Amino acid sequence: MNLIREIWQSIVRRDPLTTDKGKSELVFLNVWLHIHPAKVKKENLKFKHSFYLGFITFFLFVILVTTGIALMCYYRPYPPQAYQDMKDLQFVVFMGPFLRNMHRWAAHGMVVCVFLHMCRVFYTGSYKKPRQFNWVVGVFLLLLTLGLSFTGYLLPWDQLAYWAITVGTNIGSYAPFVGAQVREILLGGHTVGEAALLRFYVLHVAVLPSFVILLTIVHFWRVRKDGGLSRPVWKLAPPKQQPLVTIGAPVETVALNVTAASKDKTYGLMEVVTGKPIFETVTPEEEEDTVFSYPYAFVREAVVLMATVTTIMMMSLFLDAPLEELANPAKTPNPAKAPWYFLGLQELVSHSALLGGVVAPTLMVLALLAIPYLDRNPSRRPVDRKLILWLFTFFVVVNLVLIVIGTFFRGPGWAMVPPWVHVVAGAE
């Protein structure tokens, strides 16, 4: 028994969790948990501040990696076999449909949650100094999520896949100067075929997920380094108050009072940092308004994880991921529609491929990237930010309207057909 205890204690070296020291050590002696601070502000944990959207997105990504690896065991990225493997997943593989459904709905969920997370960060003004760069990282994560969705729905090699590659790579070819080369590199040739499928597979299972993991690490690290989650808007100090006290920072007129280290100190202070810290300042009252990450933050995260997995599993039991017929280069389906999240883009390119497919999306992304640097207003309070809130809301509404038009108001030949008019398929 002593040996077992010794082994256990060699793995878990913290004090018991009943003590405050143990609660702290659980966090900072653990490589996985130490991205958290030992203590978090109580108000920041509230659901109504963040809706836990960042966590939900991350957990959906974990589901996607897990189910994705399982799906890779049943999939060959080669044109005729790829579709056959889809059929096997539907009818032969044990729990195959459930597995595929989970991957599909988690992917759709991730697109939704990344977008909602971005909206939450915007509306709470959480991209402001010092968090500007983390917003930029977040925009790239949004783009990677869309890239993963696009490369993902190509893999079944059904009609949707084939025509999405065709249209998608042709949009790329409208890019000025590099268009033709971009298309050739993406396709690995000039026509949509086996080389193209293999390349999109490599992008989907290796290249893009690696970048997502890298940027997620940076994103989380930055959240921590920028002072944790932003303060909820309702906790912001009212304007024209006394300046906040910065703990540990020298008051400008008073010399920093350095206490000589006692002889029994067991740590080394590498450098005395002077000046104000870059993260948000806290009042002593706020400092007391904190709780230990264990259990308060971890329990909430575990609940969010379970709720996310449960929701995706329930959806996967009742909703089946679509699969169209085998890719047929000779016959474009009519109408040929992308998944809902790209229908706004499809609506734009239906007016002009260059303006709608290249110029408008590029400008949108540049605008998103520039937001934290162009918005010079230091206040995070909604009353002080009316104009920019309206502008962003307009941006969101335009995107939603385009998606709604593309989804419900476009019929065969991309003609305007209201959803209440019944169109007989094939009646051309």
Partner 1 sequence: MVPSVFYEPPQSFKIGNPGDFPYGPPTFMADEKIFVFRDRDRGFAVASAVCTHLGCTVAHFGSDQKFHCPCHGSVFGADGAVLHGPAPRPLNWFEVTVARDGQLNINKDKIVPSSYRLMV
Residues forming the site for partner 1 (CB under 8 A): 163, 166-167, 170-171, 181, 184-185, 188-191, 193, 195, 329-336, 346, 349-354, 356-357, 412-415, 428
How far apart CA 198 and CA 155 sit, in angstroms, is 9
Give all strands (DSSP E) within 199-289, no chain letters.
none
- Least CB distance to partner 1 at residue 229 (A): 41
CB-wise, 118 or 154, nearer to partner 1?
A: 154
How far apart CA 9 and CA 86 sit, in angstroms, is 48
- Least CB distance to partner 1 at residue 123 (A): 34
Enclosing H/E stretch for 132? helix 132-154
Question: Which of 257, 240, 260, 241 is closest to 249 using CA atoms?
Answer: 257
CB-wise, 352 or 377, nearer to partner 1?
A: 352
3-state helix, strand, coil in the chain (%, to 5): 60, 0, 35
| SS3 assignment, position 146 | helix
CB-wise, 136 or 192, nearer to partner 1?
A: 192
CB-wise, 210 or 334, nearer to partner 1?
A: 334
CB-wise, 212 or 348, nearer to partner 1?
A: 348
- Least CB distance to partner 1 at residue 421 (A): 16
- Least CB distance to partner 1 at residue 224 (A): 37
The number of helix segments (H) and strand segments (E) in the chain equals: 17, 2
CB-wise, 63 or 345, nearer to partner 1?
A: 345
| SS3 assignment, position 249 | coil
CB-wise, 207 or 389, nearer to partner 1?
A: 207
How far apart CA 262 and CA 104 sit, in angstroms, is 59
How far, in Å, are 156, 178, 207 from residue 97 at the CA level? 13, 40, 26
- Least CB distance to partner 1 at residue 184 (A): 6
CB-wise, 337 or 381, nearer to partner 1?
A: 337
- Least CB distance to partner 1 at residue 15 (A): 54
How far apart CA 416 and CA 253 sit, in angstroms, is 70
- Least CB distance to partner 1 at residue 350 (A): 4
How far apart CA 101 and CA 315 sit, in angstroms, is 8
- Least CB distance to partner 1 at residue 404 (A): 17
Q: What's the sign of the alpha-carbon dihedral 43, 49, 54, 57?
A: positive
- Least CB distance to partner 1 at residue 207 (A): 12
CB-wise, 264 or 428, nearer to partner 1?
A: 428
Question: Beta strands 39-41 and 290-292: pairing type?
Answer: antiparallel
How far apart CA 231 and CA 26 sit, in angstroms, is 25
How far apart CA 302 and CA 308 sit, in angstroms, is 10
How far apart CA 414 and CA 223 sit, in angstroms, is 44
